[in-house]
Amino acid sequence: MWDSLLSTATSKISGELLSKWNERKHVRALLDLHKRRVRETRITNRYYAELRSLRETFLQYGLAEKSAANREFFDRWLSDPVVEMGWTPAGGWNSDRIVALRCDVEKLQA
């Protein structure tokens, strides 16, 4: 009897741990995809769309609370009203701003 209870509890706990591990793995892969897309974007008008997608992921998985670098990134890049509303205005990007975005993206953690 105790063996069956112990095996049931062990399988439940290991199943929950495996589920959390799979979710973290999924979030890490999703964040890596966003980082690659920002790095590989060459058309400046696409940066707002990429940031909008990244904002959705941040909100869905609570990534802003994972680290200080994530919170700083969210406050600097993803709280912009243009990003929040999903607009893609022309202009607004210069080489210094693009370099700063790419540097900040590299600091993100899942």
pLDDT for the residue 72: 97
Task: Give the list of residues 6+ apart from residue 87 with CB closer than 8 angstroms, or none.
Answer: 48
pLDDT for the residue 108: 94
pLDDT for the residue 13: 61
State the total domains in the chain.
1
- Torsions phi, psi of 89, nearest 5? -70, 155
**Greater model confidence, 26 or 92:** 26
pLDDT for the residue 18: 72
Residue 32's pLDDT band (cuts 50, 70, 90) = very high
Residue position matching structure tokens 């999703």: 30
Tokens of 68: 């200080």
Domain containing 14: what range? 2-106
Map residue 87 onto helix, strand or coil.
coil
